[in-house]
A = this chain, B = another copy of it.
Amino acid sequence: MAKHNYAAGPCVLPQDVFKKAAEAVLDLDGIGLSVLEISHRSKEFIAVMEKAQSLVKEILSVPEGYSVLFLQGGASLQFLMVPFNLLNTNGKAAYIETGAWAKKAYKEAAALGNAEVLASSADKNYNYIPKGFEVPKGLDYLHITTNNTIYGTQFKEYPTTDGLLIADMSSDIFSQKIDISKFDLIYAGAQKNLGPAGTTLVIVKDEILAKTDRKIPSMLDYQIHAKADSMFNTPPVFSIYVAMLNLEHMKAQGGIEAIQKHNEEKAAMLYNEIDKNPLFVGTAELEDRSNMNVCFLLTDESKKEAFDKAWAAAEISGIKGHRSVGGYRASIYNALTKESVQALVDTMAKLA
C-alpha cells in the first residue's frame, strides 16, 4: 500500500506517472530499449524534450518570447547563473530574504557582484513575507523566492521593479495560475510539483539575455543552453521524461485552474483543522500561509509521543518539521490526494 507522502521534496508524484515511468524503464513505448539507455540525440528523446517544453508553455500559458529550458544543478546552480547572466559588473541586484534558500541565492550573487538584501523576515524566523518595502530604481534585477518550503510562507502578490523580476519558484510552480509576463526569469528545481530530482526548469525571456558585460562560462550561460535547446551537454534524460509524463498528467487533470482549485481545497482542509484544534498552532502569519507547505506546532509538547505514533500508524510519512522551525511540516504538493490530507486531519482531530 502506498503511504501518505508529505515529504518536502523530492516528494509525491501521481501513481499513474510512477506506473508509466516504470514501464519505460523496461521498454520505452515498445521500441525495444529502456528510457535509461536511449541516446539524448535519438528521435525518441528529442520528442520527449519537445513535448515537455510545449506542455510547460501550454499549462503555464507562457507568452511568446520566452524559452523553456531543462537544465541541471537545481535551484542552487541557478543562484549562480542568475547573477552571472544578469548582474552587470557595475550593476546592482536586490533580494528579498524570505528564508534560508533566498539567503543562499543572495550570497552567491553578493560573492560575484553588487547585491543587497532589500527586505528580510529573518527577525521572526521567516514566518512572514516582508511588505511595504520600497524597490529602488535602476536595479539590474529584483529576486524573490515565491514559496518558502521550510517556513510555510508564500508570496500572494509579487513586488514590481523597473529592473528584471527573477523568481525562484521551486516549490510552488505548477500549483497555481501565474502571470508569466510579470517575470523575466523563473527557475525551479523539478523535485516538487514537476518531477523527480535531477532537472531544473528555467523559463526565461529571450530579450534579457546576452546583455551583461560579464564573461559567462559556457555551462552557466542561458543563451548557450537556449540555442542548443537544452542539449548543450547530455541532459538528464530520465528526469525530463518523468517531468513530461507528469505534465501530461497535469493537462489531463484539467490544467492549472483545476490544479489550483484542488490545492486550495487541500490547504483549507488542513489549515481549518490547525485553527480549530486547540492542540495545534500554525507557525506562519495567516496572510502569508503557503498552500504548499503547512507548518505547525503542538501547543502541548506532552502530546508529541502520542501524535507521532498516531500519524505513523496512519501510514503518514515525511511530516517532521525542518530543524530550524521544529514541529511539523505537511507538504501538500499537487500529487498529494485529498484522501491523504484527510488522513492527517483525522489523526489531528482524534488527538484532541
Contacts and interface: CB of A to CB of B under 8 A. Distances in A.
Interface of A: 1-3, 5, 7-13, 18-19, 21-23, 25-27, 31-34, 36-40, 42, 72-77, 79-80, 104, 107-108, 111-112, 189, 191, 195-199, 215, 217-220, 232-239, 242, 315, 317-318
B11 A37 contact: yes
Most buried by B among A37, A191, A215, A239: A37
A217 B108 contact: yes
8 smallest CB-CB distances across A and B, nearest first, come from A198-B236, A76-B233, A22-B25, A36-B196, A72-B72, A3-B32, A22-B22, A7-B39
A265 to B, nearest CB: 22
A32 B198 contact: no
17 contacts: A5-B33, A9-B39, A11-B37, A11-B39, A13-B36, A18-B34, A18-B36, A21-B36, A22-B26, A36-B195, A72-B72, A73-B77, A104-B218, A112-B217, A198-B198, A198-B237, A238-B239
Copies assembled:
2
Nearest to A71: B73
Given A37-B11, A40-B197, A233 B2 contact: no
Given A25-B21, A236-B198, A220 B80 contact: yes
Contacts of A196: 36-37, 237-238
Contact of A36 (B33, B42, B72, B242): B242
B32 A1 contact: yes
Given A2-B33, A38-B10, A232 B22 contact: no
Nearest to A215: B111
Most buried by B among A10, A32, A38, A238: A10
